[in-house]
Amino acid sequence: MKHLNSRCHRALMSTLADARKAAGMSQREVSSRLRRPVNFSHLVESGQRSLNVCEFIDYAKAIHADPVQLLRRIMT
């Protein structure tokens, strides 16, 4: 999957990780809030798992972030 190594995907991974850390949350906490396997957020933030749009919105809300603002950061 080429998109998992694209510039945009790398920006997505780092933006989500930075926002999670700014919220003072662990990857385990995020996975738990999303009711996903314990390693889910690690897979997302390390680039091994992509997110669809709805998953992205849920992820943003789980870390108390505005999905629109996160998307803007990814696009710049």
Domain housing 49: 2-75
Closest CA to 8 of 58, 56, 65: 56
| pLDDT in the model for residue 76 | 82
| pLDDT in the model for residue 46 | 92
pTM for this entry = 0.89
Whether pLDDT at 4 is above 60: yes
pLDDT tens digits, 22-54: 999 999 999 999 999 999 999 999 989 989 999
Report d(CA 62, CA 76) in Å as an integer: 23
**What CATH number corresponds to the domain at position 19?**
1.10.260.40
Rg (Cα) of the chain, in Å, rounded?
11
Report d(CA 47, CA 55) in Å as an integer: 15
| pLDDT in the model for residue 8 | 87
Closest CA to 71 of 49, 56, 51: 56
Closest CA to 4 of 43, 55, 53: 43
Number of domains, the chain: 1
Whether pLDDT at 1 is above 70: no
